[in-house]
């Protein structure tokens, strides 16, 4: 990793952790809020159910209280009632005029408060009734083991009877608190897992975005590096031309050389921009049905070098004329450069069946770069490590073809660009412009 990339990479990584932390905080807050609401609703509904249960038992047993003709209290109906045999504790208290409360019947005594508290609750129930039969009253208390319980008291009395009866029914303040605790634990564990999963997902997704950003950063760095490297030589040459103060008879030649340098720089910038835009998805290559032989002939004629000879056979391909023209120009420049050892040797261009081959008569393929001649930065005998051939390979791959460089029989090098020929006998493919 180059040193000038480090600050940008560090900022991207900080952004990744910031995004992950933000998602974690938001998810944890949402999970806590939802868990609190769910736990509160469940607790409230269970408390209502517990109150309903003790009121049901106290009221039901109060209506089962009977006395005989001699005003003797009959508790057999209460003792045998199903309500007095369930999970709810029951105490039947009786008080005669001028006497204290007596516990005539108890069931599940451990779920009831102390005797003093029971007496107090019975008195409060009597006072709360204001003479109304079955006027139930709810209280919160603690049983003899210290657990919080809800106690419902229901008064029973008759106008022709001097006894006052209170039925106390007691149960835990929350119906089935064990299930509520299980719900809370389930919410806590499930919420924690959800937060962990969301954190992991945010970290992975942000890492994926980070890789895309790093790729764009690499492409940006590559574009700048390629542009700086490729433009340095022609700019230096152009500067020397402008500072050479040519003689009047050399002005036209100097201007022609300057125009060639400017054209070369324009082609380089065009190629670099086209590749950068397409690699980042900003643009797509044009898909046009074209004559490859005519395009190559036009490029060779535009090069304006007497050493170039063209042998062309009609061949039709589907591609981007601008990109293909750029690739062919780069192949020609490569052939002219490496064929400069023998100024009289031709650079032969052959076009047929979707292939453009450029042969020079130079020193041949350097063994050092023969394994990867199209890699950016590959250097040969000339010491050049430009992107011309790398652009040729990229254009070929973009069009579904390939590029190759191999030694020529008798010396020199053959660079070949191959594209899939268009089958014009079955019509024009969808999306292709004529």
Q: What is the pLDDT along the chain (434 residues), one digit of tens a residue?
A: 455 556 777 787 888 888 888 888 998 888 888 888 888 888 888 888 888 888 888 888 888 777 666 666 777 777 778 888 888 888 888 888 777 888 888 888 888 888 888 888 888 887 887 767 777 788 888 888 888 888 888 888 766 667 778 878 888 877 677 777 788 888 888 888 888 888 888 888 888 777 777 776 776 666 666 666 667 767 777 777 777 777 777 677 778 777 777 877 777 777 777 777 776 666 677 888 999 999 999 988 888 788 889 999 999 999 888 889 888 988 888 888 777 667 778 889 999 999 999 998 888 776 555 455 666 554 444 444 456 788 888 889 888 999 988 888 878 889 999 998 876 654 444 444 44
Helix 388-398 and helix 251-279, axial crossing angle in degrees, nearest 10:
40
Cβ partners under 8 Å of residue 317, min gap 6: 289, 290, 292, 324, 354, 399, 419, 420, 421, 422
CA distance readout (Å), 292 to 143, 193, 284, 320, 404? 98, 61, 20, 11, 18
User: What whole-number distance in Å separates Cα of residue 91 and Cα of residue 108?
Assistant: 9
What are the C-alpha distances in Å from 386 to residues 222, 264, 315, 360?
A: 12, 13, 30, 18
Contact in structure between 354 and 315 (CB atoms under 8 Å): yes
Q: Which domains does the chain have, with CATH numbers?
A: 1-219 (3.30.450), 284-426 (3.30.565.10)
Question: What pTM was computed for the model?
Answer: 0.49
């Amino acid at each position: 990793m180059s040193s000038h990339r480090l600050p940008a990479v560090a900022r991207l990584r900080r952004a990744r952790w910031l995004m992950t932390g933000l998602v974690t905080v938001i998810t944890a807050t949402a999970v806590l809020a939802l868990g609190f609401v769910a736990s509160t609703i469940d607790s409230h509904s269970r408390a209502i159910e517990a109150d309903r249960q003790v009121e049901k038992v106290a009221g039901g047993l109060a209506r089962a209280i009977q006395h005989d003709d001699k005003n003797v209290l009959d508790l057999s109906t209460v003792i045998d009632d199903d309500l007095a045999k369930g999970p709810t504790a029951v105490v039947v208290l009786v008080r005669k005029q001028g006497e204290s409360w007596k516990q005539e019947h108890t069931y599940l005594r451990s779920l009831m408060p102390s005797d003093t508290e029971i007496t107090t609750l019975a008195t409060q129930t009597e006072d709360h009734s204001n003479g109304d039969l079955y006027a139930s009253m709810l209280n919160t208390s603690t049983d003899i083991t210290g657990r919080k319980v809800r106690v419902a008291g229901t008064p029973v009395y008759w106008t022709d009877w001097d006894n006052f009866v209170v039925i106390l029914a007691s149960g835990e303040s929350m119906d089935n608190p064990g299930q509520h605790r299980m719900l809370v634990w389930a919410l806590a564990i499930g919420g924690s897992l959800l937060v962990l999963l969301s954190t992991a997902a945010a970290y992975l997704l942000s890492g994926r975005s980070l890789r895309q950003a790093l790729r764009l950063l690499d492409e940006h760095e590559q574009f700048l590096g390629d542009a700086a490297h490729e433009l340095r030589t022609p700019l230096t040459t152009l500067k020397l031309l402008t500072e050479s103060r040519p003689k009047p008879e050399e002005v036209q030649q100097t201007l022609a050389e300057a125009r060639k340098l400017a054209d070369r720089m324009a082609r380089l910038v065009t190629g670099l921009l086209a590749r950068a835009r397409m690699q980042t998805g900003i643009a797509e290559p044009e898909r046009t049905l074209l004559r490859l032989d005519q395009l190559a002939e036009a490029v060779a004629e535009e090069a304006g070098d007497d050493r170039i000879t063209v042998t062309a056979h009609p061949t039709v391909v589907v591609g981007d004329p601008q990109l293909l023209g750029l690739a062919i120009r780069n192949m020609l420049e490569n052939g002219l450069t490496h064929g400069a050892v023998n100024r009289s040797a031709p650079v032969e261009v052959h076009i047929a069946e979707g292939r453009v081959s450029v042969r020079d008569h130079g020193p041949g393929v350097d063994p050092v770069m023969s394994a990867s001649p199209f890699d950016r930065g590959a250097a040969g005998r000339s010491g050049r490590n430009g992107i011309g051939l790398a652009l040729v390979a990229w254009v070929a791959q973009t069009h579904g073809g390939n590029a190759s460089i191999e030694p020529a029989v008798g010396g020199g090098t053959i660079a070949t660009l191959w594209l899939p020929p268009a089958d014009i006998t079955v019509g024009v493919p969808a999306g292709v412009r004529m």
